[in-house]
Amino acid sequence: MTENRKDKRVKTRDSVSGKIILVEHLEILDLSLSGIHFNCLKKRRLEMNSHQTIKIQKDDISIIVHGLIVRATLKSTKENGTYTPIYDVAMKFSPLTSTQTASIEKLICLLGNE
């Protein structure tokens, strides 16, 4: 199957963390210059076409970027006595500054070498 992606996407292998306001836990799955794919625990779904800000961190790299949620689907639930939905989310970045682009390129390079 051929990839039709604009930008190269790298797997994070649980080595990159992220945060979004009102999201309990966020697991970044992969990252590119155009967007990010992650799973998150959230009581309410991240709405399609909603604008969000995400902080991406690995070692000494910390990037805050804005983007648009392009997919948010219920993937599964965790049960620790309570219902906790896990969402599979794709976010397309808003236009990046040159500093954000350089930081994401550095992060992609690091991940590609792991």
Please count the structural domains in the chain.
1
Is 100 a member of any domain? yes
| Structural domain contains residue 4 | no
pLDDT at site 76 = 77
Q: Distance between terminal CA atoms of the chain?
A: 25
How far apart CA 89 and CA 54 sit, in angstroms, is 12
Position 59 in a domain: yes
Lowest model confidence (mean pLDDT) among 36-40, 42-46, 69-73, 103-107: 42-46
Q: Tell me, what's the pLDDT at 12?
A: 66
List, for residues 54-98, the tens digit of each pLDDT value: 989 888 989 999 999 999 998 877 666 677 788 899 999 999 999
Alpha helices in 10-113 (DSSP H): 98-112
3 in any annotated domain: no
Distance CA 107, CA 18 (A): 13
85, part of any domain: yes
Q: What is the CATH number of the domain that holds 53?
A: 2.40.10.220
Query: Of 47, 41, 93, which is closest to residue 66 (Cα–Cα)?
Result: 93
**Domain for residue 47, yes or no?**
yes
Q: How confident is the model at residue 18 (pLDDT cuts 50, 70, 90)?
A: low
